[in-house]
Amino acid sequence: MADTFKAEIIGRLAHKWESEGVIDSAKVEQNTQLTNGFNWNEAEAAWRLESTTLADAASVTYDLTNLTQTRFGDTQIITLIDVRAIIIKNETTNEGTLLLGDAGANEWSAMFGADGDIIKIEPSSVMLISNELDGWDVDATNKNLKLTASGGLATFSIEIVGATSAGASGSGSGA
């Protein structure tokens, strides 16, 4: 049986505001279904970590061309060549901010304005960003994604969805 992959990216922010009997409500939302492949609105692999903790000032750098995951009873090495979406949830409720970016050597900064830029993910917050059509390129010199805890202990979950080979299908390579 051939490998298949599907992903769903959902982002939504809505409000309801009532003042003196008048209601204002609105929402902005995006829901995209990614199917198996490398072209627009397609992806081939997902990598995730759940409830990972960093001590204050500690950091971890993930090589997007060498992401290891145990799945389907085997260890997989996922080699992304582009990222279609990334979500990071800072599960800490009252102290540690997560700093995303500024990895230094071989920094993956495709979704940032430039190398050295960071995004702060405050406690009890989520960052979701996507490039569903083209994805952000990953290569040998643009591959390291760094997370740093700042201001206290930080516990986070992360998932990255992307493509592993131009035109190929499947969900990463087994190792």
CA distance linking residue 106 with residue 142, whole number of Å: 5
pTM, 2 dp:
0.90
* The CATH number of the domain covering residues in 44-168: 2.60.120
Q: Where are the domains of the chain?
A: 44-168
Distances, alpha carbon 106 to alpha carbons 61, 140, 174, in Å:
11, 7, 25
CA distance linking residue 168 with residue 93, whole number of Å: 41
Cβ–Cβ under 8 Å, residues 152 and 58: no
Show pLDDT as tens, one digit a residue, over the chain (175 residues). 778 999 999 999 999 999 999 999 999 999 999 999 988 899 999 999 999 999 999 999 999 999 999 998 999 999 999 999 999 999 999 999 999 999 999 999 999 989 999 999 999 999 999 999 989 999 999 999 999 999 999 999 999 999 997 543 333 333 3
At a CB cut-off of 8 Å and minimum separation 6, what does 113 contact?
none
